[in-house]
């Protein structure tokens, strides 16, 4: 079972979804702005990505600056809480395939999970 954290207004997200569909993959589509992930879901996602919370942040969003998320003393728990409350902060797209996940930047990266 596969899922894509998708923002239909984002060209990178649309491109990643199109690439997957061209290869016969029809993932569940989660519009994470309409259905924000919980902190627990984000923690599980970090585990699948094999990364920390900071690498999942969109630093160009207004909320990033307004919430002071550039503070290096903030831990993963604080960053995940901010993302759960402000899902625009979550990098996109994210393709999840079973126990693995990848951030689709550039969109072609989603194909790395199709081996």
Query: What is the per-residue pLDDT across 69-100, written as a single tens digit (0 to 9) for each?
Result: 999 999 999 999 999 999 999 999 999 999 99
In the chain, beta strands by DSSP E: 2-6, 28-31, 94-97, 100-103
**Of 2, 3, 10, 43, which is the active-site residue?**
10
Domain count, the chain: 1
Q: What is the pLDDT of residue 46?
A: 97
User: What CATH number is associated with residue 15?
Assistant: 3.40.30.10
Range of the domain at 94: 2-98
Indicate whether 49 belongs to any domain: yes
Residues ≥6 apart with Cβ < 8 Å to 58: 64, 88, 89, 90, 91, 92
The mean pLDDT value of the chain amounts to 97
CA distance linking residue 29 with residue 108, whole number of Å: 17
pLDDT class of 1 with cuts at 50, 70, 90: confident
Q: Is 30 a residue whose pLDDT tops 90?
A: yes
Residue 92 has what DSSP assignment? S
Residue 29 lies in a domain: yes
- Is 10 one of the annotated active-site residues of the chain? yes
115 band by pLDDT with thresholds 50, 70 and 90: confident
């Amino acid at each position: 079972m596969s899922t894509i954290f998708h923002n239909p207004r984002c060209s990178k997200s649309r491109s990643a979804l199109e690439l997957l569909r061209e290869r016969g993959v029809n993932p569940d589509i989660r519009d994470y702005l309409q259905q924000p992930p919980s902190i627990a879901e984000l923690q599980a996602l970090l585990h699948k990505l094999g990364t920390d919370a900071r690498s999942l942040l969109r630093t160009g969003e207004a909320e990033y600056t307004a919430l002071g998320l550039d503070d290096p003393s903030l831990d993963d728990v604080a960053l995940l809480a901010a993302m759960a409350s402000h899902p625009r902060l979550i990098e996109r797209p994210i393709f999840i395939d079973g126990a693995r996940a990848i951030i689709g930047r550039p969109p072609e990266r989603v194909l790395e999970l199709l081996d």
